[in-house]
Amino acid sequence: MPVKNRFAELQDEITAWRRDIHENPEILFDTHRTSALVAEKLKDFGCEEVVTGIGRTGVVGVIKGKTDTAGKVIGLRADMDALPILEATGLDYASKTPGAMHACGHDGHTAMLLGAAKYLSETRNFDGTVVVIFQPAEEGGGGGKEMCDDGMMDRWNIQEVYGMHNWPGQPVGSFAIRPGSFFAATDTFEMTLEGRGGHAAKPHETVDPTVMASQIVLGLQTIASRNADPVDQLVVSVTSFETSSNAFNVIPQKVHLKGTVRTMSAAMRDLAETRLKEVGTGIATASGGTAEINYMRGYPVMVNSEEQTEFAAEVAASVSGTCSDAPLVMGGEDFAFMLEERPGAYILVGNGDTAAVHHPEYNFNDEAIPAGCSWWAEIVEKRMPAA
């Protein structure tokens, strides 16, 4: 395939970009160096418009096709931010920033979309406009939402939007996708449980918040086992249990719980929030104590549009020969905010037999670059064929 051959020719150059970004990771919205690098390259490629500061540190580039008879506009999105992890790969291009690491492959996503932008700027073999979107703060900061809140979709009249993520354990350069709900909504909660502290030798004179909290931890597990339909996906995990005392002979006054809730539908999300508050408050009250509960909604469910998913799968099969059915993923992805505003699809590209994402020994597989870049380019050329 000509596109794939061109990206094979560009692979060394794109790999060099990727490794430079890997060596200089930046977290959340502090992607100043990466954003500047992206903007500079987009200008060098000859993009008609390059705009920085969208969603704080996001970058948008506009590439016009040879013709524009239908006024169609497609958005292609990559994330740029790293994670607060100490790298343990031992690579010669490992992170030079202690405590920061590209442990999720966003360096690869950015480099692949830059490669596609270079090719599309060279060839212009399409009828319409491409908007390349480089987003900060995917890892918990909601950078995708901030770019949307800045009016990105309307400003450039984006009509469809596509995203991609590498996937360890899947053969290098292969693709997987699914229509409908794909990545989970990611909510968090905190509970401050207060009783009446006292001497551990006189528990009858206290209202013990450790017992109260322990019952709540167990009670929260019944939301999935007894409130949710067994065919629906729901995860409720308590991840932190802290008391206001660290002494052996003191029953504390307070216990603080933290955790996360993952769901795959708006209805299940509402049910989980309601029942979590009822369980926490009910057990605390029955125990003679109180519960202060803060439930924080994070990324929504990421939902792939049916038509665009079918098209994305066809393009993937044309690039790699096959496109498999992806599993449901209980992790979150803030591309969900873009898919709430416009129809589109999100696909997985195989990273091979590597460490999992968010692991200190993870590394993006540069052998996936030609396939990933080709998918981006083919999305444009097949969705907006040259007039």
**pLDDT at res. 318:** 95
Render pLDDT for 324-358 as a digit per residue (tens, 0 to 9): 999 999 999 999 999 999 999 999 999 999 999 99
State how far the alpha carbon of 66 is from the alpha carbons of 69, 129, 381, in Å: 10, 9, 11
For 134, list phi and psi in degrees, rounded to 5.
-115, 115
Which option is the CATH number for 2-182+301-383: 2.70.98.10, 3.30.720.210, 3.40.720.10, 3.40.630.10? 3.40.630.10
Give the chain's mean pLDDT: 97
- All CATH 3.40.630.10 domain ranges of the chain, comma separated, are 2-182+301-383
Kindly tell me if the per-residue pLDDT of 1 is higher than 50.
Answer: no
The residue-averaged pLDDT of 110-128 equals 97
- Give bridge partners of residue 58 from the DSSP assignment: 54
For CA atoms 95, 101, 106, 108, the dihedral sign is: positive
Neighbours of 95 (CB within 10 A): 20
Q: Please list, in sequence order, all residues whose beta carbon lies within 8 angstroms of the beta carbon of residue 298, skipping any fewer than 6 positions away.
A: 140, 142, 185, 186, 187, 188, 332
Kindly tell me if the per-residue pLDDT of 2 is higher than 60.
Answer: no
The residue-averaged pLDDT of 62-83 equals 98
The percent of residues in the chain predicted with pLDDT above 90, rounded, is: 97
**pLDDT at res. 387:** 87
Angstrom distance (rounded) from CA 235 to CA 362:
25
CB 200 within 8 A of CB 251: yes
| Amino acid at the residue 153 | M
Kindly tell me if the per-residue pLDDT of 3 is higher than 80.
Answer: no
Residue 122's pLDDT band, with cuts at 50, 70 and 90, is very high
For 44, list phi and psi in degrees, rounded to 5.
-60, -35
Q: What angle (nearest 5°) sits at the alpha carbon of residue 62, between those of residues 59 and 68? A: 160
Q: Please list, in sequence order, all residues whose beta carbon lies within 8 angstroms of the beta carbon of residue 187, skipping any fewer than 6 positions away.
A: 260, 261, 262, 263, 269, 272, 273, 295, 296, 297, 298
Q: Which H/E stretch holds residue 303?
A: strand 302-304
Render pLDDT for 178-212 as a digit per residue (tens, 0 to 9): 999 999 999 999 999 999 999 999 999 999 999 99
Task: Pick the closest to residue 79 from 298, 360, 332 (CA basis).
Answer: 332
CB 34 within 8 A of CB 143: no
- Give bridge partners of residue 304 from the DSSP assignment: 180
For 87, list phi and psi in degrees, rounded to 5.
-70, 140
Render pLDDT for 43-52 as a digit per residue (tens, 0 to 9): 999 999 999 9
The percent of residues in the chain predicted with pLDDT above 70, rounded, is: 99
Task: Pick the closest to residue 312 from 108, 128, 184, 164 (CA basis).
Answer: 164
**pLDDT at res. 227:** 96
Tell me the angle at which helices 209-222 and 266-286 cross, rounded to the nearest 10 degrees: 150
Q: Please list, in sequence order, all residues whose beta carbon lies within 8 angstroms of the beta carbon of residue 307, skipping any fewer than 6 positions away.
A: 343
**pLDDT at res. 4:** 64
**pLDDT at res. 5:** 77
- All CATH 3.30.70.360 domain ranges of the chain, comma separated, are 185-299
Render pLDDT for 283-295 as a digit per residue (tens, 0 to 9): 999 999 999 999 9
Summarize the chain as % helix, strand, coil (round to 5): 40, 30, 35
Residue 225 is classified by DSSP as I
The residue-averaged pLDDT of 357-375 equals 97
Which option is the CATH number for 185-299: 3.40.190.10, 3.40.50.450, 3.30.420.40, 3.30.70.360? 3.30.70.360
Kindly tell me if the per-residue pLDDT of 151 is higher than 90.
Answer: yes
